[in-house]
Structure 1
Amino acid sequence: MSYLFPTYARWNVSVKEAKGSWVTDENDKKYLDFVSGIAVCNLGHADDDVMQGVQDQLKKYWHVSNLFHQPIQEEVAKLLVEHSDGEAVFFCNSGAEANEAAIKLARKHTGKTKIVTFLQSFHGRTFATMSATGQEKIQQGFGPLLEKFTYLPYNQTQALEELEEDVAAIMLEVVQGEGGVVPAEQEFIDKVAETCKRVGALLIIDEVQTGIGRTGKPFGYQHYGITPDIITSAKGLGSGMPVGAMIGASSLIETFQAGSHGSTFGGNPIAMAAAKATLTKILQDDFLNEVTEKNIYLVNKLNSIIGNHPLVKEIRGKGLLIGIECKEQVSMMVDQLRDNNLLVLPAGPNVIRMLPPLTVSYEEIDEALGIIDQTFSTLKQSAVAH
């Protein structure tokens, strides 16, 4: 019997410990972890520097509330501002909360209420962020959604031309993670930025999954040469400690004054210590360049091993956010890979999503590739048999 609401279809794996790129279950079976807590453990599990930062903060104080000045908040905010196009940061506890703050800020600043998002997007499970999400399966059963959200086709420009000046913001992921690991095309991103200027809307980039080095840059939007008004971040920011951040342009600072928004635990010093250690390690040119090199190595090897497999349609992604789109549903493949000691995720019904730690070694990548090769060879024989 479980005392938990069954809101997750949990795997038959009970974790005993985790370190680096590896997870060990209670039966001492070891798994190579290409899930990373769903793009959270960008430095792998139990990173020594993050652990030390958290332990140092635990000896000082755990919580005092945001009525007090906390220098560690300023230090983390400074790191985020220096590596983005923002000027001010609001701290919260999750990606959904960061996106919630972004929606509130956009509406308050512009005085408009319409938010444009995209089909197959995912922005969270609060009422506002669920309403922003362009997937009916996330919204079903909860009654009327928050009003004034419009969903347009992703990577298509025509519908953007029809938008008018009643739009408060356009909100999007530069790689749709939950929606199938679909990177944005440059022409589409350019059109989104142009449309925001034309209609007087803010540009919100949801970097909850793509931020903090996941794509080989501090934030995914930096591949596209655009300047967002608002950037949201969470998952990889705290190496597993609950922390989210909304980063905004200087022009928005006056809109979020005292009393306009808040979070009791947002900017908690323990989470800030984890974020500071995480950012200090990831936001180095050599570290980020290595993420790009690992992407090239992994994608090239995947194409060589399974690119011509009869079940594989396309291999795509940015940095160490990689999707293998298949011609059939992938739930059985995900299960088989897990049985073979490799943890991966689905992204929609037909895409296998790979999110290795950014610190994954080339030896570990080769080990994962061997498991994938073995598993897909078995699948190929099954496909032939059918």
Structure 2
Amino acid sequence: MTHLAEAAQAYTERHRAALMRTLGAPQLVLERGEGCWVWDVDGRRYLDFLAGIAVDSLGHAHPVVVEAAARQAATLIHVSNYFATPSQIALAERLRRLTGAGEGGRAYFGNSGAEAIEAAFKLARRNSTDGRSRILSLKNSFHGRTMGALALTGKPTMQEAFRPMVPGVDHIDSTIAALEEAMDDSVAALFVEPIKGEAGVLPLPDGYLRRARELTERHGALLIVDEIQTGVGRTGEWFAYQHDGILPDAVTIAKGIASGIPIGALVTFGRASDLLLRGDHGSTFGGQPFSTTVAGAVLDEIERAGLVQNAAVRGAQLQELILGIGSPHVTAVRGRGLMVGVGIADGRAAEVAERSLAHGLILNAPNPDSLRIVPPLILGDEELEEFRDRFTLALGDL
């Protein structure tokens, strides 16, 4: 093991020397994965309950992803956006169905969640007619790190070094009362996350999305739901807004849609589908046949294997399991489906995440008081049992 440890240290030193200093030193140098497990260059196995931050919906090295990627790479990887491909068209049609947008819906493809948000920002600007100039977003929200997405993000500390922000965005409290006070005919769009993942998996108040739908329709504003982290079955529905029985004007999608292959999408509904005009937006790589083919195969498998329902069932089991440990360090368990937040007492969330890693369990502490748990949608009994044992040990170390 000494040689392997030295190899990992060497990789870490190379990382420090070669990569931009936008992130800290890597916690691990990972080499391969299978299902809900990954292995580092030291040969140690870890239970992955972060899944690339809700990205690896089918886990690692899933045969459906491997086959689709290999087949398409041997056929056609990329064409410019002057041309279409069958997989691009089929994926757009499927997203119209899964989102509920129907025949009036349209899809735009990019390469990431941030790109989907940037497209949605432009959509909001196109709704800025008749004196509509304000865009509403929520405090403590996260929509990405590009400049438009950062302007929407309700975290002033993240914005400070990059001011001035793109103008026209007002951040409001995440309450129905604050929304009712802020909404009027000057609002072009409201951006919301159904569950704030980066804030520690914080769901919106009950009834918030339904009230938001009522108010935006009344005032002619767009309701744009950021489902980059909550979408694609993560919460036990294809999209989290479906729990509330509403349809937005637009939804942003990324992360789990292709189980690790970069792709993002903006799907519009009804009148919003006519707002962006030819030349308003574009992406060199967006909608390429490689990423859209893999995304189509991933969505096929999620439907075939009943993984949306699995997320609902396993998520409830996971929350029950965490509460059943009975640790005094756990102050709350929240979330929906396989998007679970755990409140940790005394600001020790990072310490719990560190001790979990020492016991071969990968999860995430987005802030000092919260853990984020977003395992692959293929989660089963064996992985839940392993999680219980390893998480119990980590909490016990405190």
**TM norm. shorter chain > 0.5:** yes
Say whether the 8 Å CA contact 2:45–2:360 is kept in structure 1.
yes
Look up the match of 2:147.
Answer: 127
Q: Report the counterpart of residue 9 of structure 2 in structure 1.
A: none
Q: Does 1:105 align with 2:105?
A: no
Structure 1 position 109, deviation (Å): 3.1
> Which stretches of structure 1, 4 residues or longer, exceed 4 Å deviation after superposition?
none
1:119·1:151 contact (CA, 8 Å) conserved in 2? yes
Aligned amino acid, residue 367 of structure 1: E
Cα offset for 1:50?
A: 1.3
1:12/1:347 Cα in 2 relative to 1: closer, same or farther (>3 Å)? Answer: closer
User: Which residue in the other structure is 2:46 paired with?
Assistant: 31
Structure 2 residue aligned with 1:57: 72
Q: Determine whether 1:195 maps to 2:215.
A: yes
CA distance in 2, matches of 1:122, 1:61: 35
Q: What's the offset of the Cα at 1:311?
A: 2.1
Q: How many percent of aligned residue pairs carry the same amino acid?
A: 34
TM-score (norm 2): 0.92
Secondary structure of 1:140's partner?
Answer: helix
Identify the match of residue 372 of structure 2 among 353, 360, 363.
Answer: 353
Give unmatched runs, 5+ long, in structure 1.
380-386
- Among 355, 375, 382, the residue aligned to 2:394: 375
Write the mapping of 1:284-363 to structure 2, written as runs, cut at 5 A: 284=304, 286-306=306-326, 309-329=327-347, 330-363=349-382
Q: Kindly state the Cα deviation for residue 138 of structure 1 after the two structures are TM-superposed.
A: 1.6
Native 8 Å contact 1:325 1:351 kept in 2: yes
Distance in 2, Cα, partners of 1:287 & 1:25: 27
Partner AA of 2:143 in structure 1: H
Give the Cα–Cα distance (whole angstroms) in 2 for the partners of residues 179 and 316 of structure 1.
12
- The size of the alignment, in residue pairs, is 377
- The separation in 2 between residues aligned to 1:295 and 1:63, in whole angstroms, is 37
Q: What secondary structure does 2:175 align onto? A: coil
2:385 is matched with which residue: 349, 359, 366? Answer: 366
**What are the within-5 Å matches in structure 2 for residues 140-159 of structure 1?**
140-159=160-179
**1:98-152 deviation per Cα after TM superposition (whole angstroms, max 9, x unaligned):** 0110110121134333110101100001111100000112212112101111111
Separation of aligned partners in 1, 2:57 and 2:364: 16
Aligned equivalents of 1:276, 1:162: Cα separation in 2: 39
Where does 1:174-323 land on structure 2 (aligned, <5 Å)? 174-284=194-304, 286-306=306-326, 309-323=327-341
**Alpha-carbon distance in 2 for matches of 1:129, 1:240:** 21
Q: Distance in 2 between matches of 1:162 and 1:120?
A: 17
CA–CA distance in structure 1, aligned partners of residues 351 and 206 of structure 2:
34
CA shift at 1:178, angstroms? 0.2
Q: 62, 65, 70: which is aligned to 2:85?
A: 70
Would the alpha carbon gap of residues 88 and 155 (structure 1) be closer, same or farther in structure 2, given more than 3 Å must change? Answer: same
Asked if the contact 1:342–1:368 (Cα under 8 Å) also holds between the matched residues in 2, the reply is yes
Q: State the superposition RMSD in angstroms.
A: 1.4
In structure 2, the residue corresponding to 1:315 is in which secondary structure? Answer: strand
Matched, 1:12 2:32: no
TM-score (normalizing by structure 1): 0.95
**Following TM superposition, by how much is the alpha carbon of 1:169 offset from its aligned partner in structure 2, in angstroms?**
0.5
- Alignment check: 8 A CA contact 1:186 1:224 kept: no
